[in-house]
Every structure is written in C-alpha cells, then in structure tokens.
Amino acid sequence: MHIGVDSFVSEVTDPKTDHVVGPVERMAHLLEEIALADQVGLYSFGIGEHHRAEYYDSAPQVILAAAAARTERIRLGSAVKVLSADDPVRVFQQFATLDLISGGRIDLVVGRGSFTEAFPLFGLDLGDYDALFEEKLELLLQLRDEAEVTWSGRFRPPLVHQGVFPRPVQDPLPIWVGVGGTPQSFVRAGLLGLPLMVAIIGGEPRQFAPLIDLYRRAGAHAGHPPERLQVGLHVFGYVGESTQAAADTIYPGWHKMFSTVSRERGFAPPSRPQFDATAGPDGAFFMGDPQTVADKIRRIAEQVGGVDRLSLQMTNPLLAHDDLLRGIELLGTEVAPLVADV
C-alpha cells in the first residue's frame, strides 16, 4: 500500500502562541511540508480545491507547480479537482503541463466536491450537479486519450478536429474519480475502469465495503482487469508520539473545523465523545502513535477488500507548523514501512 498526505491548506492560528499565520507564511509552510513528505519517502501529496475564506487552495494547479519544481520523487495531485466547475480542456492542459514540470509525477483526482461555493462563483446551476460532472468527465477522458478531439455536449461549445496540447509525460495521464457515498458514483467509476478515491469523513470505514465491492463488480462486468480497478482512501488523520498526545494536539482544531460545517449544514455541534469515537478502532479518523495508525490501516484495508493507496488529510486550523511537520515525518518514516506489504 502507498501512503501519502492530502492538504486543504487551511488558515492556521498557532495554538502555542496565538499567532495568526498569514497567507504568504502559510504557503511557505505548505511547500516546506511537501518537501519534507518527499524527503521522508511518502508516496504522494495532494492539494484540495475550495472557494472559501478559511482555505487557500482555490488554485491547486499553481501550488502543485511550485511543489513539482522543488521535489524529486513524490507523486503530486489534486484532492480533489472540482471538475464540475471547470473547463475540461483547461484542466487537461494544466495537469499535462504539471506532468511535464514534475517529470511524470502527477495524478489527477476529479470529483464534484463536498462544498457548493464553486457553482454560483462560476455561474453554474446547482441543479446540474451530476450532469455537469458526467459530461465533463466524458470530455476529459477523450482529451486524455486523443490528441485531436471532436466532441459536443450541453455545457460548453463543441470541439471539431481540435488539437489539445501539451501532451503529458505519462501516457495515459492517471485520472482518478473521487467519490463520497453515492452508489451511482462507484458504479460509474467501475464501468469506466478508472481508479477510485473514496473520501471517508465520518461513520465507520468498513461501511464502505459494499460500495467498493459494487465498484469492482461494475468494473469486472465492463471487462476491465482487476489491476486497473485501484482503490484509494482519503481520510482525516494525524500521527503523534503517543495516541493521547495526538488526540490532544488535534482535537481543538477538529472541533473548530467541524463546528463551522455543522452550523452551515444544520448538524448537531461536535463533541469530545464524538471525536474519541471517530478516532477509535472502528472510526473514520486515523489518529494515534505510528503503530496504532498502522494497525488501523491494515484492519480497514482488510475490511474493504484491499486498498492500494491511503492519504491522510491533516488540515487543521489549530495545528502548529512544527507539529504538522512531525506528523508527516512519523507517517513517512514509521507508519509507511509498517504497511508497505499490505
């Protein structure tokens, strides 16, 4: 199994000093985090996409270009690119260019996103939420597979024998589908034979086993070989010196982050018992000392029938930069070797 990190590049207040980390400093910290992930042997680093005040990742391609220029081995990608709100032609060109800059180390993970701000921002109708993604994914795949494209659809002007350049180093450019919990999304990815990145932000990961099985069965039905049907998990997590230390470090920012989301969506406010349950053996949060996190990764991989890649999303608005660097170091030097044979 390959282990990596995902980041939403949240705004941060250092809990030790109450220093509010400004955007320039936060970007510098982020690039230091990515460079460290490369140095400690982590497989991948992904950047999300949000169009909200508390995140600095509205232009992930720009961040990834900066990261590509200062790393050597680590794979870089989107986590996820909100394809529904963008032009597939520009998305393909940008990620093909990133692939050239990185020397073939780019993964494009596309999805619809869990927030809706991009739709009014770019003049899109939220009622077309699924149709936009389905059509744009179809075009993106054609752009990847054909250097000259003829295509027509509902949401953008047609293309007639149109060349789209540059072409990436990787042939084909890896395109993953990011999904939540909708069965149709799992089936669509399986039928297309695309690797699957499952975002797990609550509940119990083992509950996704039937959906992942549905994905694999759809892929087999469409004639895709098993090796094409890769499964990745995007999960919240943090690695500390001890499980108690990890919990104490992460909880304040977790509470702040999920309090905001709960208010917006009408959920009950988060609590410490809820956090402890989510971080427990069967919960969605992968948190603890290295052995505890490694044991959980092994257990969950077995429960869902196998996992090819797992990315820990460590975004936290109250996590000190030094603590995040230490978490990345422990993930790369201690956790990843323990699960390399999974």
Instruction: Give me the CATH number covering residue 279.
Output: 3.20.20.30
pLDDT value of position 210: 97
pLDDT value of position 170: 98
pLDDT value of position 205: 96
- The domain of 145 spans 2-339
How far, CA to CA in Å, does 109 sit from each of 130, 181, 276? 17, 16, 30
pLDDT value of position 226: 95
User: What is the distance between the alpha carbons of residues 89 and 93, in angstroms, rounded to a whole number?
Assistant: 6
- Kindly report the backbone phi and psi dihedral angles of residue 121, in degrees, each rounded to the nearest multiple of 5, phi listed first: -60, -35
pLDDT value of position 240: 97
Strands 196-200 and 231-239: parallel
Q: Quickly count: other Cβ atoms within 10 Å of residue 224's Cβ.
A: 17
User: What is the distance between the alpha carbons of residues 31 and 65, in angstroms, rounded to a whole number?
Assistant: 11
pLDDT value of position 158: 98
CA-only gyration radius of the chain, Å: 19
pLDDT value of position 139: 98
Q: Which amino acid is at 79?
A: A
Of 202, 183, 207, 204, give the one whose Cα is nearest residue 267: 202
pLDDT in tens, 248-302: 999 999 999 889 888 888 888 889 999 999 999 999 999 999 999 999 999 999 9
- Residues 6 or more apart whose Cβ sits within 8 Å of residue 140: 83, 88, 91, 92, 110, 175
Where helices occur in the chain by DSSP H, the ranges are 23-39, 60-69, 88-102, 118-121, 129-145, 183-192, 209-221, 243-265, 272-278, 290-303, 321-330, 336-339
Taking 50 as the pLDDT cut, the residues of the chain under it are none
The number of folded domains in the chain is 1
**Chain center to CA of 229:** 17
CA atoms in the 13 A half-sphere facing the CB of 74 = 29
